[in-house]
Amino acid sequence: MASITVNGTCSLPLSSSVVCHAEHIDLDEEVHEDIVDLKEEEQEDIISKLVVMLLSISWTPAAALRTIVELNIPKILATHASAPTHSMTAEELLERAPGASKPNARNLERMMRLLTCKNIFTEEVENITEGGLLKVIRRYALTPLSRVLVPDHATGTMANFVKFTTMSPVFCKAMEHLSESILSGGSAFESAFGTNAFDYMTTHPDQLHCFQAAMTDHTNQMLPIFLAKYQGFKGVKKLMDVGGGDGTTLSRILARHPHIQGVNFDLPEVVARAPCHPGVEHMVGDMFQSIPFGCDAIFMKVITTHALDSVPLTLPLY
């Protein structure tokens, strides 16, 4: 019988189906004492309910993460936190936050403490006496996890990816239609907005920009590992990146394999905002309509998961 460790000393017997979801749960000794004398199935029932409860509120760290990115907290810490601790209080952070007309340091501190539990920040606690009263001062500093949320991080930020994939108004509205998409078919996003996500972005430039920036963040995270391992580009002469966005992925591939001629293929509104990259030709089109001939290899990152069951995709074969 598998078990779950409690405070590193005690263990509770659990079935494997519960353990796979409860591996990060840490029960304090008081809780353990309350249930240790119960039958095995009763203990399992209590733990299972706890796991479900934690899953139900698991959106809160993502929402807090999005909030500190929107407030630019990592950038403020990276720029203004001074030696030797390189830390700041919630009040000090809000002094640097733009648009803080009625700053609420207590609310920010609660989010910072939550994210400290997730290793996004570190927290230093100082107890001082002020006017005969005990006052707790909490200071926060960057960790490796929050450093990659700084917009000008040396190897590329993940801030835009957080903004696009977490609890944005567009995301939340689409999520309201998930049950409908199962019961009635179709897409939750289309039920919410009357069009698919790609067409929606063509009429909402801010959402398109957020999406493209998020894909660039994803490239910065994924591509170094991919290029270090993958050897399939050595024999390629002309490579097309289908749905290549602003051409960042293709430019990084060409930097590693300069013998390749690159073609970045995407929608007109996407290509219009794409910068010039050495060796990369930008080409306008719609992959769901047709993909041009002329390249000896096609590169597709992520996009093959998008609705291809209902929209046939025809690739040029030689």
Per-residue model confidence (pLDDT) at position 16:
38
> What counts of helices (H) and strands (E) characterise the chain?
16, 9
Per-residue model confidence (pLDDT) at position 22:
42
Evaluate whether residue 119 is within a structural domain.
yes
Percentage of residues of the chain with pLDDT beyond 70:
84
Per-residue model confidence (pLDDT) at position 63:
94
Q: What is the dihedral of CA 252, 160, 210, 309, to 10 degrees?
A: 70
Per-residue model confidence (pLDDT) at position 289:
86
| 3-state SS assignment for residue 290 | coil
Per-residue model confidence (pLDDT) at position 23:
43
Question: Do residue 52 and residue 71 come from a single domain?
Answer: no
Question: Do residue 46 and residue 115 come from a single domain?
Answer: no
Which amino acid, 181? Answer: S
Evaluate whether residue 235 is within a structural domain.
yes
Q: What is the pLDDT of residues 65-112, one digit of tens each?
A: 999 999 999 999 999 999 999 999 999 999 999 888 889 999 999 999
Q: How confident is the model at residue 25 (pLDDT cuts 50, 70, 90)?
A: low
DSSP 304: G
Question: Do residue 101 and residue 42 come from a single domain?
Answer: no
Boundary residue ending a domain (34, 56, 78):
56
Range(s) of the domain holding residue 257: 230-318
Cα distance between residue 280 and residue 257, in whole Å: 12
Boundary residue ending a domain (132, 147, 162):
147
Question: Do residue 52 and residue 65 come from a single domain?
Answer: no
Per-residue model confidence (pLDDT) at position 198:
83
In the numeric block, which tokens belong to residue 3?
């078990």
Residue 188 clears pLDDT 80, i.e. is over it: yes
Boundary residue ending a domain (104, 124, 147):
147
* Domain CATH for 75: 1.10.10.10
User: Mean pLDDT: which of 29-38, 45-54, 237-246 is highest?
Assistant: 237-246
Cα distance between residue 281 and residue 37, in whole Å: 70
Cα distance between residue 288 and residue 290, in whole Å: 6
* Domain CATH for 307: 3.40.50.150
Residue 267 clears pLDDT 60, i.e. is over it: yes
Residue 317 clears pLDDT 50, i.e. is over it: no
Contact of 10 with 40, CB cutoff 8 Å: no
pLDDT, average across residues 271-297: 91
Please state the domain count of the chain.
Answer: 3
Q: How confident is the model at residue 288 (pLDDT cuts 50, 70, 90)?
A: confident
- In sequence order, the β-bridge partners of residue 129 are 134
Q: What is the value of pTM for the model shown?
A: 0.74
Question: Do residue 239 and residue 309 come from a single domain?
Answer: yes
Q: How confident is the model at residue 27 (pLDDT cuts 50, 70, 90)?
A: low
Residue 7 clears pLDDT 50, i.e. is over it: no
Question: Do residue 16 and residue 79 come from a single domain?
Answer: no
CB atoms within 10 A of CB 55: 10
In angstroms, the Cα distances linking 60 to 65, 103, 110, 167, 176 are 8, 21, 12, 9, 17
Per-residue model confidence (pLDDT) at position 155:
85
Rounded (5°) CA angle 105-111-115: 140
Which amino acid, 83? Answer: A
Question: Do residue 71 and residue 47 come from a single domain?
Answer: no
Per-residue model confidence (pLDDT) at position 26:
54
Q: What is the mean pLDDT of the chain?
A: 84
Evaluate whether residue 141 is within a structural domain.
yes
Q: What is the pLDDT of residues 128-143, one digit of tens each?
A: 888 888 889 999 999 9
In the numeric block, which tokens belong to residue 18?
């519960």
Evaluate whether residue 95 is within a structural domain.
yes
Question: Do residue 67 and residue 40 come from a single domain?
Answer: no
Order of all β-strands in the sheet with 261-266: 280-284, 261-266, 238-242, 297-299
Residue 5 clears pLDDT 50, i.e. is over it: no
Evaluate whether residue 134 is within a structural domain.
yes
Which amino acid, 164? Answer: F
Q: Which residue has the higher pLDDT, 124 or 11?
A: 124
Q: Which residue has the tokens 């990115």?
A: 69
Cα distance between residue 210 and residue 124, in whole Å: 34
Evaluate whether residue 135 is within a structural domain.
yes
Residue 165 clears pLDDT 70, i.e. is over it: yes
Residue 259 clears pLDDT 80, i.e. is over it: yes
Evaluate whether residue 157 is within a structural domain.
no
Question: Do residue 234 and residue 317 come from a single domain?
Answer: yes
